[in-house]
Amino acid sequence: MIVIFLGPPGAGKGTQAAYISARRDIPQLSTGDMLRAAIAAGSDVGRQAKAIIDRGELVSDDIVAGIISERIDMADCARGFLLDGFPRTVEQARMLDEMLTRKGKSLDCVLLLDVDHDALEARRAKRVAETEAAGAPPRRDDDPATFAKRQGVYREQTAPLVPHYEAQGLLKTIDGMQPVEAVSAEIDSVLDAC
């Protein structure tokens, strides 16, 4: 089973992706984790990425796609995988489609966690308060300005994936406003039907 997870920052993707990964026994592939692993492994793509990062530049779509291509060829991905953080743009989605086609694979489902913007802000504020109450500094991405910027980037770059995958009949919308357990149950139901 090959699944993409979509949703704005703070929607609960990380929580639900970890649940799906454990429940379905498929790896959760995070682009950031894969990038760090490719660099640590010293693969060709990892060396290219390291050189770009060392220059303070963003890693190109081609390099990210190369890292994903290498990763999904590993044995633990034979039964499927969950993509979290890729694709982020329609162009990356096209690259992924081409890559999967070359490998004789295809997407089973794209899950969209649908959450109200005001609820996202409330979740961010709650995380900050809980973190500070525990005596730890808040996450950098929970800074109000940073959080707002991330929401804007999502709306501009990633939200266009919704109609893209909807047109392919792959998009399944999950009500992310429910309690965590209810969201997980809805995801299970949707994946059982994919």
Cis, peptide link before residue 87, omega less than 30° from 0: yes
The rounded distance, in Å, linking the Cα atoms of 20 and 110 is 13
Binding-site members are: 10-15, 31, 36, 57-59, 85-88, 92, 127, 140, 150, 178
Alpha helix segments (H runs only) across the chain: 13-24, 31-41, 44-54, 61-72, 90-102, 117-133, 144-153, 161-167, 180-193
The rounded distance, in Å, linking the Cα atoms of 71 and 30 is 10
N-terminal to C-terminal alpha carbon distance within the chain? 9
The rounded distance, in Å, linking the Cα atoms of 60 and 28 is 21
Neighbours of 2 (CB within 10 A): 20
Binding-site members for AMP are: 31, 36, 57-59, 85-88, 92, 140, 150
Provide the residue type at 41 as one letter: A
Binding-site members for ATP are: 10-15, 127, 178
The rounded distance, in Å, linking the Cα atoms of 109 and 74 is 21
